[in-house]
Structure 1
């Protein structure tokens, strides 16, 4: 039998007259998935618990629960699933010196319902998800006596809430059972500070302290509140007399801080610590209590279009944090982990994080305070959670108040929203939003992301306003566009879940999963790829699709930056999302490690406080067309750019400068997007097809660049000869050429090809959750093959491929020979992994066949990239290098053609 006794001499700590006992370590333990033990703690159930477990920790750490044999496709697989009551027990000697004190059992983070028993009596239960559980034991334990403390953690759903919210879901952090962070007994004097909230006023450099003092003596008290505020080069102490007769006294005190005070924001996250000592006397006894809080001199308000921090507009460049922590299965509660995550966020030029349908632990707020990151937190609310259900409503009401009380002092806590994409009774959503505004003016409040507005909204996160669709999911083959016409409503608008373009999975990540979950879905996807004889291409698929996603995200973010009426954007997300179908949409993996697709430095060129921007009308040109650009500067940095030197220049693939110039030296204001001039150049120095890079710099320090493609006019195209036949149909003439050992280039019209729609973009979010066609993830271009000798391309698609892919058809090639690989190979969704192509070559009969499923007629004179590809193909097939080796039966050709 387990008999766990807390040794007091090893773990008592004191602060003033407050004492604590650290209860981390070994506890008695027993599962109870049938819930037999609860409510039956009579003599039959007073035996010691049979197992042991170490806290802080979760059951998964000890392989407790049902050993899962499954390989879930739509999420990671939890190795050991446990959902139900679990019991923890310890015998604790209560110090005799604690007589007369108030005694609490504190759990920093648990999941979901905690119930505490002393002996066989249940004395407290708490069901918060977002904040610590603090159980009062005072009336049920006797100082000087050893007490048997038992508590139950029940991680079943306590209310009928959405099963996808990220606070307690198998799809993101697992639905864990246990206790994290601090576990302790706390003893305080009977007159103590229950709550202390600090409200900065930057107009007069003061703070208002709102405080609740609990008086458990049932006698009048009087005494002194001593406030000690410290910061960098700052130290001030203030004493205030205090007295009261009631069991609860609410105190408000304004403290002037003086002129030397500094403000908090993303650029200067200046923090102050307030220590408050309460010394009181009641009924002839002296009591003492100390409480401290960190705060920043920060005020958040809103204009019509922007969130204002300390009176100036900010533009939120953010990501959505979805509680994805596969290494542990739960959100970390230590500062170092959150500092790592938020430092990475800032390395990629971002200043904002939204917590999607959950609220993080205190460590996240502390790290954001320190690093200057603006946070938006939410209740564990999603979807139909607003439909009528008074028990659920009451839970959300309590949860909201608890979040504001627990985390309200943190300057990083800028925005609050009730939850994600809510439907149902919006009178209840308005009630919550209005209540939040009344309770705490230090944050801005919103009813729901991406759904119906309520009257109390102070900002709005959405993909749709009453003026149109304003979220941005993909880029365009030009940059002269924004979303301003969809904006200019009554509150700031933040673009909801931007981006969301898939990257093919990196199967090398499988070995990274060493915690409570495994990427068994990756194993299934990899096996399917192997079954379809393309496992050797897995890494190429990952890198090619990833390169396209990076290209898309650059364009998505720059469009957001050009939209000067926007309050900001939230990517979904910069790191991969492991649930709801598995969405590998990030440039970082689920562990916040780089995928090697783009460096932070390169990403920051188009995502940072100050970004050079260009507007131009297309990316592919003929040599006799001019290039014209309008230059802008996105500057939400802390300073005006005085006498900014603005330069542009154009380089070819060798790095040689072909054209350059300067815009007018000028002062560029901050907190906005500012036109700074126009420039243009011609391509007279360009010989042959070229990929050029257009650069725009500010003061030779900030730089951004864009690729464009320049092509000569190709007049002689698709001309048949006696040896080479160009055709759009596979007819008798084509067959005759092949019989005679000649060459055929078959360019069937896309509407005459069976198969899938062709698109430039990678699939949205993930193909398991969203089954809309064409279910493809970019293209792998076999660019080293001679067919591309006269067509400049990497092994992935870039903007020069736009008009080619948007006027093509994807051929399904499962029935082609295993060894046949198309030179334009479309990457199928990872849950299907079929071989797909737009262009391939093969031996048919006695001849050589090249198939290109691209429309070669529609507006062809306005499609320079397509014409150049056709020129490259023409040169190739009319050369000795065109000699395909893989034999294909004519039946395969007929299988994808519509007669």
Structure 2
């Protein structure tokens, strides 16, 4: 029985030993624990200013020595006692100078037995924490990109005192079919003869109390006895799931032969069955779709993961408000409090071993048996520490592993034999270009089965071909069903089998690995989860800098701001952030909808709902690193494409001409536990205040957990005289489920006529003569010959430019374009007949994808392009796609668009029509003047 706890939190003596010289003679400082040296601002201030991640203002690596005097009363001396350190690094403990051993788990509590070593009065407890020379690199458990390589002790620090009998290694195995729970444990001590079990449900609308049961123990004379019993909960037992996260508090009382209580143990469990079922997961017999969030334990105000349930409830509730029901922890395992909060809220958790590397076998090059043994043991520690939580439903061996498949498979097999409760996967996106399913996998997590069988919407340029969100004309027809389960298997490209070397993106660098065979010619019989989808970056929000009031400072943001200001563009910072962010959110919308349109997909793991602080600084979130909204999209609008019920419209294009027939198939992704029955969808298509069409679609759905076809919309577009934006609005009657799409319709008879303008590809002598005479010139350079320019691309930059520029250079592959969409002066008369938002919309797709933007660095800030491309925070080029000036005595309009290609689409024709009309109008009177010589150096 846990009779009592001695809380050791509070003030400890501190000595910091960066050189790891040994036990200090004196302690010259104090610190409040739990906490970290960085959070307490101990040690020398760090003068670094990192651009690729946040800067730890008090970074410390080495030995941190903590010492405290504890008072022991006489009644505690002979009790069983353990020192419990909830979360720390590599620890060594001394009691009154006697060394008690070391522990090195990064994920599980450090527990030391002090039984028989206590004496009455004051005793000196010394703990050394070392955050160097780990048996493994530690993934995101120790990375400066995430929670930092902190030093200290977080969470509970206590002495735990037990009675003469107790239960250890308690495990609970829920059985939904039989409405019971199997309980296994080790009974320590000889005095208990009976075990009484009771339970009471909580966290639901009604309380359920199963009947109390009493079991006779074997009564062996041995000190340790194994317990393995089944406790029935009854037919009215409550089930745990994302929809009804009802829990039971299990009470286990050890009784002596007189029926007297000698020990009580309490444990929380949930009655649930989470399993693969064909191409989906099932929870208690109901199909679910995983809407997952990547998590790297980023908490900028502390630099370490919280250990309070309240904070994790806050964080997980934010994710739930954005439609998430799943967390994948990248090379990390969160503290106990995270699992407790997930139990309460109904979040499906997937911790991961802290490993991002290659699994080798003895005799192979670079084999590290010590590291491998450590990692395997870490898995067991995670399972023992957190396996009873109903939210712990999945477990991964690491991130993007390479190496020995047989060894990886054997580790899976051993884990499943040890604890069969969670579902296991070999890792997240293992053997990225040549994946295989292993015998002991329960699900598959990756991004492709072959070069062509891709099931993600975006990829880094070094991993090209890229995804449909990045390169395909915008529409809503894409899904991944054919990629996941081809109607005709296609042989993957390259080679004739055997072993070959390939270059891959590996973490923040590149690596050459051995790829066996061709891969790609198999179909997974298990659920497929798409790995790290999204990664659409936004420009920094410099207003965020002041929020970093903890140990981590946004020196990277300050560096980016200084770079922008040096380019004379500091006044555009807010506009860059807001308009790049609007584009990123639209990219996420298509990415997530494509996943929901895929009947063969079991779920996705988003990277990320929040910004990622490191790896170059990847500002890829709808939320910032603090899990606060960036103001780019509301929770409700995000849930309109990421929730358990989502309306979807399939149509080929967002751009139509007058007289075209708009056709859309309306579908409903429904992953609520009960079938919706009869449903009605009200739809309207409107332009401003004018309704173009409206209607109602009714269908009866008698199942749940799938994508359902409801009906269609067919509507002929009106013949119009000017371009219009149209809003297609869908709403599921009687619910909060809705969807909005923006469409654009163009006059059908628009012609691109260059006859009324002086059009040139370069500033020829003739063009200069016209300008010298005060004339007007339109310059549309030949893009293939245009130097000093950046390629046009529509989608937001992937992850962050500095990281993938470096990787592409290392791999000798194409450098990413690295831009963040457009900043449009939509009030400018050049766009009078091409009405626009200030940010990129699908009306601009054909224009941008057939363009280059001229680098206008060094020109005055008052010269703002009509259409400017937003560059990334590393280059900060001033980029003009459409701009005007006075030069050489006349007026010049520069449009860096391939007119022939753009004119093939109604949207491209309309853009050219608007620009050319402007060039012939009296409104074409640019005020900014620049010399022809300077202009020619830029437009060359």
Shorter-chain TM-score above 0.5:
yes
Alpha-carbon deviation of 1:181? 1.5
Matches of 1:233 and 1:31 in 2, distance apart? 52
Alignment of 1:601-680 (within 5 A): 601-654=636-689, 656-667=690-701, 669-680=703-714
Alpha-carbon deviation of 1:700? 4.7
Contact map agreement 1:613 1:634 (CA 8 A) in 2: yes
Contact map agreement 1:162 1:383 (CA 8 A) in 2: no
Alignment of 1:309-708 (within 5 A): 309-384=283-358, 388-452=367-431, 453=436, 454-466=438-450, 468-473=453-458, 475=469, 476=472, 477-488=474-485, 489-654=524-689, 656-667=690-701, 669-684=703-718, 686-701=720-735, 702-708=737-743
Contact map agreement 1:191 1:287 (CA 8 A) in 2: no
Matches of 2:430 and 2:938 in 1, distance apart? 43
Matched, 1:125 2:116: no
Alignment of 1:65-80 (within 5 A): 65-80=43-58
Encode CA deviations 1:131-170: one digit per residue, 9 max, x unaligned. 111111113223x2422111111111321x236x111111
Alpha-carbon deviation of 1:631? 1.4
Matches of 2:765 and 2:8 in 1, distance apart? 85
Matched, 1:866 2:908: yes
Deviates more, 1:813-822 or 1:516-525: 813-822
Matches of 1:688 and 1:653 in 2, distance apart? 13
CA pair 53-664 structure 1, distance change in 2 beyond 3 A:
closer
Where does residue 725 of structure 1 map in the other structure? Answer: 758
Matched, 1:169 2:143: yes
Contact map agreement 2:359 2:408 (CA 8 A) in 1: no
Question: Alignment partner for residue 238 of structure 1, among 199, 203, 213?
Answer: 213
Encode CA deviations 1:737-763: one digit per residue, 9 max, x unaligned. 111101111112211211121100111
Matches of 1:671 and 1:786 in 2, distance apart? 50
Encode CA deviations 1:592-629: one digit per residue, 9 max, x unaligned. 00000000011111111111111111111110211111
Where does residue 848 of structure 1 map in the other structure? Answer: 891
Where does residue 831 of structure 2 map in the other structure? Answer: 788
Where does residue 153 of structure 1 map in the other structure? Answer: 129
CA pair 201-74 structure 1, distance change in 2 beyond 3 A:
same
Alignment of 1:293-312 (within 5 A): 293-312=267-286
Matches of 2:264 and 2:156 in 1, distance apart? 19
Where does residue 7 of structure 1 map in the other structure? Answer: none
Contact map agreement 1:615 1:630 (CA 8 A) in 2: yes
Where does residue 825 of structure 1 map in the other structure? Answer: 868
Matched, 1:776 2:822: no
Give structure 1 regions of 4+ aligned residues with deviation exceeding 6 angstroms.
284-287
Alpha-carbon deviation of 1:859? 6.3
Matches of 1:292 and 1:416 in 2, distance apart? 25
Where does residue 763 of structure 1 map in the other structure? Answer: 797
Matches of 1:825 and 1:855 in 2, distance apart? 17
Alpha-carbon deviation of 1:221? 4.2
Contact map agreement 2:83 2:113 (CA 8 A) in 1: yes
Question: Alignment partner for residue 224 of structure 1, among 160, 169, 194?
Answer: 194
Alignment of 1:251-262 (within 5 A): 251-262=227-238
RMSD: 1.9
Deviates more, 1:26-35 or 1:763-772: 26-35
Encode CA deviations 1:830-877: one digit per residue, 9 max, x unaligned. 0121111111100011110000000111262x3111111122212322
Matches of 1:286 and 1:481 in 2, distance apart? 67
Matched, 1:278 2:254: yes
Contact map agreement 2:846 2:902 (CA 8 A) in 1: no
Matched, 1:95 2:73: yes
Helix, strand or coil at the partner of 1:61: coil
Contact map agreement 1:753 1:896 (CA 8 A) in 2: no
Matches of 2:134 and 2:711 in 1, distance apart? 60
Alpha-carbon deviation of 1:303? 2.1
Deviates more, 1:240-249 or 1:259-268: 240-249
| TM-score (structure 2 length as normaliser) | 0.89
Contact map agreement 1:347 1:600 (CA 8 A) in 2: yes
CA pair 687-50 structure 1, distance change in 2 beyond 3 A:
same
Where does residue 494 of structure 2 map in the other structure? Answer: none
Matches of 1:285 and 1:25 in 2, distance apart? 40
Where does residue 34 of structure 1 map in the other structure? Answer: 19
Helix, strand or coil at the partner of 2:545: helix
Alpha-carbon deviation of 1:668? 5.1
Contact map agreement 1:714 1:867 (CA 8 A) in 2: no
Helix, strand or coil at the partner of 2:340: helix
User: Gaps (5+ residues) in structure 2?
Assistant: 361-365, 459-467, 486-523, 806-814
Contact map agreement 1:472 1:495 (CA 8 A) in 2: no
Encode CA deviations 1:753-788: one digit per residue, 9 max, x unaligned. 111211001111011111123121111111122211
Deviates more, 1:772-781 or 1:494-503: 772-781
User: Gaps (5+ residues) in structure 1?
Assistant: 1-15, 39-44
Matches of 1:727 and 1:36 in 2, distance apart? 74
CA pair 225-877 structure 1, distance change in 2 beyond 3 A:
same
Where does residue 488 of structure 2 map in the other structure? Answer: none
Where does residue 797 of structure 1 map in the other structure? Answer: 840
Question: Alignment partner for residue 86 of structure 2, among 100, 108, 115?
Answer: 108
Helix, strand or coil at the partner of 2:647: strand
Alpha-carbon deviation of 1:285? 14
Encode CA deviations 1:237-289: one digit per residue, 9 max, x unaligned. 222122233343221010111111111111111111101122347xx999833
Contact map agreement 2:359 2:407 (CA 8 A) in 1: no
Where does residue 24 of structure 1 map in the other structure? Answer: 9
Alpha-carbon deviation of 1:290? 2.2
Matches of 2:44 and 2:753 in 1, distance apart? 65
Helix, strand or coil at the partner of 1:464: coil
Matches of 1:878 and 1:727 in 2, distance apart? 15
Matches of 1:225 and 1:693 in 2, distance apart? 66
Matched, 1:138 2:112: no
Contact map agreement 2:666 2:711 (CA 8 A) in 1: yes
Matches of 2:123 and 2:673 in 1, distance apart? 58
Helix, strand or coil at the partner of 2:476: coil
Question: Alignment partner for residue 767 of structure 2, among 722, 734, 738?
Answer: 734
Matches of 1:694 and 1:435 in 2, distance apart? 53
Helix, strand or coil at the partner of 2:822: strand
Matches of 2:547 and 2:10 in 1, distance apart? 28
Matches of 1:280 and 1:33 in 2, distance apart? 53
Alpha-carbon deviation of 1:410? 0.9
User: How many residue pairs are counted as aligned between the two chains?
Assistant: 862
Encode CA deviations 1:530-581: one digit per residue, 9 max, x unaligned. 1110100000000000000011111110000000110101110010000111
Deviates more, 1:879-888 or 1:252-261: 879-888
Matches of 1:439 and 1:833 in 2, distance apart? 54
